[in-house]
Amino acid sequence: MNFLSIFVLIPLLMLLGLWAARNLNQVRGVMVTGSTALLALSVYLVFAFLDARSLDPQSEMLFVKSIEWFPPLHITYTVGVDGISVAMLLLSAVIVFTGTFASWQLRPLTKEYFLWFTLLSMGVFGFFITIDMFAMFMFYEIALIPMYLLIGVWGSGRKEYSAMKLTLMLMGGSAFLMCGIFGIFYGAGGQTMNIIDIANQTGGAHAIDGNWQMLWFPMTFVGFGILGALFPFHTWSPDGHASAPTAVSMLHAGVLMKLGGYGCFRIAMYLLPEAANELSWIFLILTGISVVYGAFSACVQTDLKYINAYSSVSHCGLVLFAICMATETASVGAILQMLSHGLMTALFFALIGFIYGRTHTRDIRELAGLMKIMPFLAVCYVIAGLANLGLPGLSGFVAEMTIFVGSFENPGTFYTAMTVIACTSIVITAVYILRLVGKILYGTPTNPHHLQLTDATWDERFSVICLILAVAGLGLAPFWVSDMIQTGVHPVIEQLQAAGSLFDSHSNPFL
CA angle (204, 207, 211) in 5-degree steps:
130
Separation between Cα atoms, residue 31 and residue 20, nearest integer Å: 13
* Burial class of residue 12 in the structure, from the number of CB atoms within 10 Å of its CB (0-12 exposed, 13-18 middle, 19+ buried): middle
* Burial class of residue 506 in the structure, from the number of CB atoms within 10 Å of its CB (0-12 exposed, 13-18 middle, 19+ buried): exposed
- Is residue 511 in some structural domain? no
Task: Please spell the DSSP secondary structure of 257-296, one letter per residue.
Answer: THHHHHHIIIIIIHH-HHHHHHHHHHHHHHHHHHHHHHHH
Choice among 71-80, 87-96, 326-335, 500-509 with the minimum mean pLDDT: 500-509
- List, for residues 125-156, the tens digit of each pLDDT value: 999 999 888 888 999 889 888 888 888 888 77
- Is residue 46 in some structural domain? yes
Task: Please spell the DSSP secondary structure of 385-419, one letter per residue.
Answer: HHHHTT-TTSHHHHHHHHHHHHHHTS-SHHHHHHH
Three-class DSSP category at 115: helix
Beta pairing partners, 75: 70
More confident residue, 210 or 458: 458
Q: What is the largest CA-CA distance in the chain?
A: 72
Q: How many Cβ atoms are within 10 Å of 320's Cβ, its own excluded? A: 29
- List, for residues 217-266, the tens digit of each pLDDT value: 899 999 998 888 888 888 888 888 778 887 788 878 778 888 888 988 88
Residue 447, pLDDT > 60, answer: yes
Q: N- to C-terminal Cα distance for the chain?
A: 52
Do 233 and 260 contact (CB within 8 A), yes or no?
A: no
Q: Which amino acid is at 2?
A: N
- Is residue 76 in some structural domain? yes
pLDDT tier at 506, thresholds 50, 70, 90: very low
Provide the pLDDT for residue 1.
Answer: 52
Separation between Cα atoms, residue 495 and residue 497, nearest integer Å: 5
pLDDT tier at 511, thresholds 50, 70, 90: very low
Number of H helices, E strands in the chain: 21, 2
- Is residue 508 in some structural domain? no
DSSP state of 232: T
Residue 439, pLDDT > 50, answer: yes
- Is residue 188 in some structural domain? yes
Mean pLDDT of 416-427: 89
- List, for residues 272-303, the tens digit of each pLDDT value: 888 888 888 888 999 999 899 988 998 888 88
- Is residue 294 in some structural domain? yes
What range defines the domain where residue 353 resides?
Answer: 3-502
Mean pLDDT of 188-201: 81
Do 312 and 224 contact (CB within 8 A), yes or no?
A: no
Do 328 and 406 contact (CB within 8 A), yes or no?
A: yes
- Is residue 83 in some structural domain? yes
Provide the pLDDT for residue 207.
Answer: 67
Mean pLDDT of 391-407: 88
Q: What's the whole-number average pLDDT of the chain?
A: 85
Residue 39, pLDDT > 70, answer: yes
Do 262 and 338 contact (CB within 8 A), yes or no?
A: yes
pTM to 2 decimal places: 0.90
Q: Based on the structure, what is the number of domains in the chain?
A: 1
- Is residue 259 in some structural domain? yes
Separation between Cα atoms, residue 183 and residue 208, nearest integer Å: 9
Residue 330, pLDDT > 50, answer: yes
Residue 458, pLDDT > 90, answer: no
Provide the pLDDT for residue 503.
Answer: 41
Show Cβ contacts of residue 63 under 8 Å, excluding neighbours closer than 6 positions: 2, 3, 4, 48, 49, 52, 79, 80, 81
Provide the pLDDT for residue 500.
Answer: 66
Q: How many Cβ atoms are within 10 Å of 401's Cβ, its own excluded? A: 16
Chain centroid to CA 454? 32
Residue 4, pLDDT > 90, answer: no
Residue 28, pLDDT > 70, answer: yes
Residue 41, pLDDT > 90, answer: yes
